[in-house]
Amino acid sequence: MTITSASVPASPAAPLPVIRAHGVRLVRDGDVLLDSVSLTVRSGEHWALLGANGAGKSTLLGLLGAVTHPTDGSVEILGRTIGQVDLRELRTLLGHVNPRHPLRSPLSVREVVLTGLTNSVEPVPRWSASNEQEAQADRLLKMLGMEAKTGSRWPSLSQGERGRTLIARALMPQPRLLLLDEPATGLDLAAREQLLDALDALREEHPELATVLVTHHLEELPASTTHAMLLRAGRSVASGPADEVLTTGRVSDCFGHPVRIARTDGRWTARAQRVPRG
């Protein structure tokens, strides 16, 4: 009698790493800005970097965005190791949303979005978008709720409209990684909620996209956030799935102040806890 073993279905492969940072240390003018920070971001994951002002969030985002080199440790982005590649070329493969976009010209919303293809602030001379590229820009603007503003001029936009325009701009090269540096800065309540809804819709429509968002307000995290890292004084104090990291104890330790964390309908809130008086 011949005995054959039943075939076992192969386990689904883990999503590919988009970012691998290991033991990163960054020293500038004698100050240690990051110390022994490690982070792995995989395709389809949506990370939040949180911490008080000066904790190292934007500094770490600069490394992940191929803006700077680490003093020690290694940073691998999209399979390319910083220090072994041209950073300018690597940056063209990333989507980076900076709410302090230095545009001065009265470009239309569509023109701003199309500069994402040339990785420039202003339109490149003698370069013109194809009909297909213009259609892609319009599709992204519609997805982000900006279809009625396609022809509006940059100076006339609200801060929230600018934020959604810049997200569409960052997505034009179809990056695998989107970096967002405090995208809700300066937004009122309605504009913030529109932005977060747009990020949730974006992540649902592009399931392979990985994102890293910097903030120091838990209320600015989209419900689609999957992972989080807490930074304090340049060091990671917690990192992993969002529900395991964004707890009352860990957030209180990170910010050095007792707060109570709650999550309702996928969104986080933080409230100060009353400290008993002696």
* Residue 198: strand, helix, or coil: helix
pLDDT digits (tens, 9 = 90+) for 151-170: 999 999 998 899 899 999 99
- My answer on whether 87 and 119 are in the same domain is no
Kind of pairing between the strands at 95-97 and 17-28: unpaired
Per-residue pLDDT at 168:
92
Q: Using an 8 Å Cβ cutoff, are 134 and 70 in contact?
A: no
Residue 3 confidence class, pLDDT cut points 50, 70, 90: very low
Per-residue pLDDT at 4:
44
- My answer on whether 88 and 145 are in the same domain is no
Cα 167 to Cα 165: distance, rounded to the nearest angstrom: 5
pLDDT digits (tens, 9 = 90+) for 50-103: 999 989 999 999 999 988 889 999 999 999 999 888 888 888 888 888 878 888
Per-residue pLDDT at 278:
55
Q: Is residue 29 part of a domain?
A: yes
Higher local confidence (pLDDT), 198 or 12: 198
Q: Using an 8 Å Cβ cutoff, are 167 and 183 in contact?
A: yes
Which residues make beta-bridge pairs with 106?
none
Within 10 angstroms of residue 223's Cβ, the number of other Cβ atoms is 16
In 3D, which of 135, 4, 17, 152 has the Cα closest to residue 76? 17
- My answer on whether 75 and 211 are in the same domain is yes
Which residues make beta-bridge pairs with 34?
26
Point out the domain boundary residue: 156, 174, 192: 174
Q: Is residue 4 part of a domain?
A: no
What the block records as the tokens of 51 is: 């911490």
Average pLDDT rounded to a whole number, residues 271-275: 76
- My answer on whether 81 and 180 are in the same domain is yes
Average pLDDT rounded to a whole number, residues 132-149: 91
- My answer on whether 90 and 183 are in the same domain is yes
Average pLDDT rounded to a whole number, residues 95-121: 89
Cα 34 to Cα 56: distance, rounded to the nearest angstrom: 6
Q: Using an 8 Å Cβ cutoff, are 60 and 32 in contact?
A: no
Residue 191 confidence class, pLDDT cut points 50, 70, 90: confident
Model confidence, pTM = 0.86
* Residue 158: strand, helix, or coil: coil
Q: Which residues contact 227 (CB under 8 A, 6 or more apart)?
A: 41, 45, 46, 47, 48, 239, 240, 241, 242, 245
Within 10 angstroms of residue 116's Cβ, the number of other Cβ atoms is 24
* Domain count along the chain: 2
Where in the sequence is the domain holding 147, given as residue range(s)? 102-174
Q: Is residue 72 part of a domain?
A: yes
- My answer on whether 30 and 136 are in the same domain is no
- My answer on whether 227 and 119 are in the same domain is no
- My answer on whether 116 and 253 are in the same domain is no
